[in-house]
């Protein structure tokens, strides 16, 4: 009944899902998941079309981060097997981007483990952006942490197309996972990104111990920010971090969460991201049918992904063409 009502409203026009309705979706029993998938897929097709945007990412500066995000192996606060690495050689980054472009990626995101960029990092990122823009046809995205207004404007002027700054968790849950900066500081950077004219990419991590209500809160808080892209990460507990023994989210629950985000953010680029291999396992295609229209192809920042050819074959089997997705 709920899904029938939502279908009529969400496909019918500008009548967005309400918080209590989204919470009811999050609480649907597993038996209802096929119907939820069907609805999310129809909403996705109606609002964004059949295309899938592929992105590749690279850790351009790894580890030794000053922040204490409890999920992250790159924080210097935790004893992790990960060894810090300085800024990657630009030639190696360009070669990696060219390899990603050959796979079909249209976005390439430069990611640094920092609270925010200092002047030296800004210069390194600007040089890398220029090299990528002249050597590839990829759109360049960045994820450099907390920005000043001037830094956001500089990145936009340099041709950075999209900026990633995940809210990570609902406002009510964020203090449980990070104490070195606030949720409000993250939101401010997201606003600066939009003000500067870059597309905002902001999502979160599912499975850090939040309640279903807090998961829905995150989706609505993101909706208020109006991101072009919403990465939906699933916690893959990292050794040495405070969340290393956190139980994994179930595969069907993950599929349900993707669908939930589609219903709350019907026109966004919804990208199942880190952790999908561990959480969705054999249900990758169901994740795509549950409203996703993007993937990170290849490896992540510090962990490995699915073999790219497996994802490409899956998308071909699903009849989902890959390419750029521009706002409708």
Q: Report the sign of the C-alpha dihedral through residues 90, 91, 95, 96, in that order.
A: negative
In the complex, the smallest distance separating the C-beta of residue 205 from another protein, rounded to whole angstroms, is: 16
| 322 contacts 292 by C-beta, under 8 angstroms | no
At 111 the three-state DSSP class reads strand
Beta-strand ranges (E) seen in 102-210 are 107-112, 139-143, 162-164, 199-201, 204-206
52 binds another protein (CB under 8 A): no
157 vs 150: CA distance, rounded Å: 10
Site string for another protein, 86-115 (x = CB under 8 A): --x---x---xx-xx--x-x----------
304 binds another protein (CB under 8 A): yes
277 binds another protein (CB under 8 A): yes
107 vs 119: CA distance, rounded Å: 25
257 vs 287: CA distance, rounded Å: 9
- Closer by beta carbon to another protein, 121 or else 301: 301
Beta-strand ranges (E) seen in the chain are 53-61, 107-112, 139-143, 162-164, 199-201, 204-206, 229-234, 269-272, 294-296
150 vs 159: CA distance, rounded Å: 15
44 binds another protein (CB under 8 A): no
283 binds another protein (CB under 8 A): no
* Residue among 75, 189, 233, 302 that touches another protein (CB under 8 A): 302
User: Applying CB under 8 A, which part among 79-87, 158-166, 202-210, 217-225 lies near another protein?
Assistant: 79-87
303 binds another protein (CB under 8 A): yes
- Closer by beta carbon to another protein, 39 or else 301: 301
Q: Scan residues 14-43 and list those touching another protein (CB under 8 A).
A: none
User: Applying CB under 8 A, which part among 16-24, 75-83, 120-128, 261-269 lies near another protein?
Assistant: 75-83
Backbone angles phi, psi at 200, to 5 degrees: -95, 130
| 320 contacts 52 by C-beta, under 8 angstroms | yes
148 binds another protein (CB under 8 A): no
- Residues near another protein (CB under 8 A) are 56-59, 62, 81-83, 85, 88, 92, 96-97, 99-100, 103, 105, 236, 239, 277-278, 297-308
């Amino acid at each position: 009944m709920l899904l029938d009502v939502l279908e009529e409203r969400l496909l019918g026009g500008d009548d967005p899902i309400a918080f209590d309705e989204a919470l009811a979706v999050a609480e649907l029993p597993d038996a209802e998941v096929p119907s939820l998938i069907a609805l999310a897929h129809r909403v996705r097709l109606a609002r964004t079309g059949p295309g899938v945007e592929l992105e590749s990412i690279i850790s351009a500066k790894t580890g030794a981060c000053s922040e204490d995000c409890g999920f992250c192996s790159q924080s210097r606060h935790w004893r992790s097997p990960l060894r810090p690495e300085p800024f990657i050689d630009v030639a190696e980054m360009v070669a990696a981007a060219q390899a990603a472009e050959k796979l079909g990626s249209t976005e390439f995101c430069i990611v640094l483990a920092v609270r925010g960029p200092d002047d030296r990092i800004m210069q390194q990122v600007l040089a890398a952006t220029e090299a990528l823009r002249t050597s590839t046809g990829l759109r360049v995205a960045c994820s450099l942490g907390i920005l000043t207004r001037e830094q956001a404007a500089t990145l936009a002027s340099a041709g950075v197309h999209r900026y990633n700054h995940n809210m990570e968790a609902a406002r009510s849950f964020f203090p449980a996972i990070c104490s070195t900066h606030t949720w409000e500081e993250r939101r401010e950077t997201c606003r600066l990104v939009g003000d500067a004219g870059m597309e905002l990419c902001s999502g979160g991590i599912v499975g850090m111990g939040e309640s279903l209500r807090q998961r829905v809160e995150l989706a609505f808080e993101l909706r208020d920010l109006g991101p072009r892209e919403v990465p939906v990460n699933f916690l893959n507990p990292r050794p040495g971090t405070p969340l290393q023994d956190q139980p994994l989210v179930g595969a069907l629950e993950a599929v349900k969460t993707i669908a939930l985000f589609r219903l709350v953010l019907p026109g966004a680029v919804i990208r199942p991201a880190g952790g999908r291999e561990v959480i969705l396992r054999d249900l990758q295609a169901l994740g795509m049918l549950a409203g996703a229209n993007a993937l990170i192809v290849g490896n992540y920042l510090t962990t490995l992904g699915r073999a790219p050819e497996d994802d490409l074959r899956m998308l071909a089997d699903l009849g989902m063409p890959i390419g750029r997705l521009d706002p409708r």
